[in-house]
Amino acid sequence: MVAMFDSTIAAVASPAGSGGIVIIRISGPGSIQIAASIFRPAAKASNRQPTPESFTSHRLYYGHIVDQHGGRALDEVLLAVMRAPRSYTREDVVEINCHGGPAAVQAVLDLILRSGARLAEPGEFTRRAFMNGRIDLTQAEAVIDVINARTQQALEAATAQVCGAFRRELEDVRGVLTDMLVRNEAAIDFPEDDDVKEDSDLGAMISSLRQKAIEPIAQLIRNYHDARPVREGLTVAIAGRPNVGKSSLMNRLLARERAIVTPHPGTTRDAIEDEFLLKGIAVRLWDTAGLHASEDPIESIGMQKTLERMEHADLILFLLEAHKPVCAEDAEIYNKIRPKTVLFVLNKIDLAGESAPLAVIPDGWVEASLIPVSALTGQGIEILRDIILKRATGAGCLEKSPTIIPNLRQKALLEGCLQSAEAAADSVEKGESPEIVDINLRQAIDYIDKTLGISVGPDIIDRIFDRFCIGK
């Protein structure tokens, strides 16, 4: 069902900043009228003010944007008209391709606003697409994931959801739950009917519910956990004593000189961060201040920030020196970071020598393999990269990651759906009353409806679209 919006909205639909071309989008009942009032075709035979009816939908027009008050040409443009419902918002939409200089863009946008449009709110174009039934809420949420995608895998997952893969999966599950609800309610209304009893075979109901509803929903929830790095990336912190080579390791992992390296302990006093791609996963790498006793107030602040950063890291690379035994200072650091996922990295193996024994992890520390590397020569770095991905994701290389990755809101709703569906199956198995089964099935369907946006409060919708930028 198409919602009716009285206002016409406009905004720059391209990223902020200068560029060769910038798109200004207009949507709403007055968009074509506004276009007709400010656009002049370049062709001599038609170099006069067009009428709204003179525009053919989905055709590109070349001409100028002209301020009707004084007749000044503001810019040379290409203009496209998309008549409802064949547009992004299912309303009449006009898109103007103008030159990307800030002055030209602002002049054209100001003229459009003076001509009857108002400035769009963040995400309002996509919100209208949702309200007008062109997309569901999962597709609308995926739009911002496409915009924010930092890797090819994240882009592919977001695009699959924009195209409706998530919606179709949920609609299939909803169809199974609805069919079971109809059969269950028939059993409530006609308990003595033999045909109803035959159609309500308990074994078949439970099997269908578990195979076609519970397992697909459980898999989607697993997708969230398994492929979260695809959507959000990983955060990896490097920890250790001063001068163990943390900054050198960061530079080696990034394959560029990012952190300052000197032979003097305490060079890094604040967390330095940068990002690199690891087999399609965006890794946010933190080089932190060396942890040790210090009376220097600036250094102490840096170490406090280090500990705060480690609280939010997916993985901590605990750097030790291969040619020196583990010391009390190392043990003190380990006691602070041991609740997190820790990977022991033995640096400076180039100084240990081929025959010298490497440092040994003390008894009582979590058993883990030691990764010997040399941040100076690069030895062992590729092995370390592979182990970082495996240890942080629990799955190693995610080249075959799922294409449907729920976000946190969707995952929470799917967990509610799973719990209700499992409760319905358990009720059937225990022979509980059909009324209890009915309640659980309805709750499971309601969770799916909230995920798709069929039944969701305006506060949730506002919260979702507030994440969008103006123009999308």
- At residue 261, the pLDDT reads 46
Residue 225 and residue 408: Cα distance in Å, rounded?
A: 10
- At residue 46, the pLDDT reads 54
Average pLDDT over residues 432-441: 89
- At residue 89, the pLDDT reads 95
Residue 166 and residue 138: Cα distance in Å, rounded?
A: 7
Task: Read off the CATH number of the domain in which 151 is found.
Answer: 1.20.120.430
Contact 81, 32 (CB under 8 A): yes
What's the pTM value of the predicted model, to 2 decimals?
Answer: 0.74
Task: Read off the CATH number of the domain in which 123 is found.
Answer: 3.30.1360.120
3-state helix/strand/coil string of 327-376: CHHHHHHHHHHCCCCEEEEEECHHHHCCCCCCCCCCCCCCCCCCEECCCC
- At residue 295, the pLDDT reads 53
Residue 88 and residue 139: Cα distance in Å, rounded?
A: 12
Last residue of a domain, one of 363, 393, 423: 393
Say if 373 falls within a structural domain: yes
Average pLDDT over residues 303-331: 78
Q: Is the pLDDT of residue 317 over 80?
A: yes
Domain hosting residue 29, numbered range: 9-133
Same domain, residue pair 128 and 193 = no
Same domain, residue pair 118 and 50 = yes
Contact 28, 8 (CB under 8 A): yes
Average pLDDT over residues 61-85: 91
Least confident span in 26-35, 262-271, 388-397: 262-271
Q: Cα angle at 176 between 171 and 182, to 5 degrees?
A: 120
CA distances from 158 to 139, 144, 232, 296 (A): 9, 8, 12, 47
Same domain, residue pair 276 and 383 = yes
Last residue of a domain, one of 371, 393, 415: 393
Contact 91, 27 (CB under 8 A): yes
Same domain, residue pair 330 and 277 = yes
Say if residue 325 is exposed, middle or buried (CB neighbours under 10 Å; 0-12, 13-18, 19+). exposed
- At residue 304, the pLDDT reads 62
Least confident span in 202-211, 257-266, 376-385, 411-420: 257-266
Say if 398 falls within a structural domain: no
Least confident span in 1-10, 77-86, 339-348, 434-443: 1-10
Same domain, residue pair 96 and 213 = no
Q: How confident is the model at residue 444 (pLDDT cuts 50, 70, 90)?
A: very high
Task: Read off the CATH number of the domain in which 290 is found.
Answer: 3.40.50.300
Q: Is the pLDDT of residue 262 over 50?
A: no
The H-or-E segment that residue 392 falls in is: helix 381-393
φ/ψ bin of 364: left (φ > 0), alpha (ψ from -120 to 50), beta (otherwise)? left
Residue 276 and residue 389: Cα distance in Å, rounded?
A: 12
CA dihedral 71, 77, 83, 88 (to 10 degrees): -130
Same domain, residue pair 409 and 389 = no
User: 410: which residues sit within 8 A by CB, 6+ positions away?
Assistant: 138, 141, 166, 224, 451
CA dihedral 128, 132, 133, 135 (to 10 degrees): -20
Say if 274 falls within a structural domain: yes
- At residue 291, the pLDDT reads 52
Say if 160 falls within a structural domain: yes
Say if 416 falls within a structural domain: yes
Q: How many CB atoms lie within 10 A of CB 257?
A: 11
Say if 463 falls within a structural domain: no
Same domain, residue pair 269 and 347 = yes
| SS3 of residue 430 by DSSP | helix
The percent of residues in the chain predicted with pLDDT above 90, rounded, is: 34
Say if 466 falls within a structural domain: no
| SS3 of residue 7 by DSSP | coil
Chain centroid offset of residue 50 CA: 43
- At residue 433, the pLDDT reads 84
Same domain, residue pair 242 and 375 = yes
Same domain, residue pair 313 and 269 = yes
Say if 4 falls within a structural domain: no
Q: How confident is the model at residue 196 (pLDDT cuts 50, 70, 90)?
A: very low
- At residue 393, the pLDDT reads 66
Same domain, residue pair 95 and 152 = no
Same domain, residue pair 240 and 355 = yes
Least confident span in 239-248, 259-268, 370-379: 259-268
Count: domains in the chain = 3
Q: How confident is the model at residue 33 (pLDDT cuts 50, 70, 90)?
A: very high
Same domain, residue pair 333 and 266 = yes
User: 304: which residues sit within 8 A by CB, 6+ positions away?
Assistant: none
Cα atoms in the Cβ-side hemisphere of radius 13 Å centred on 277: 11
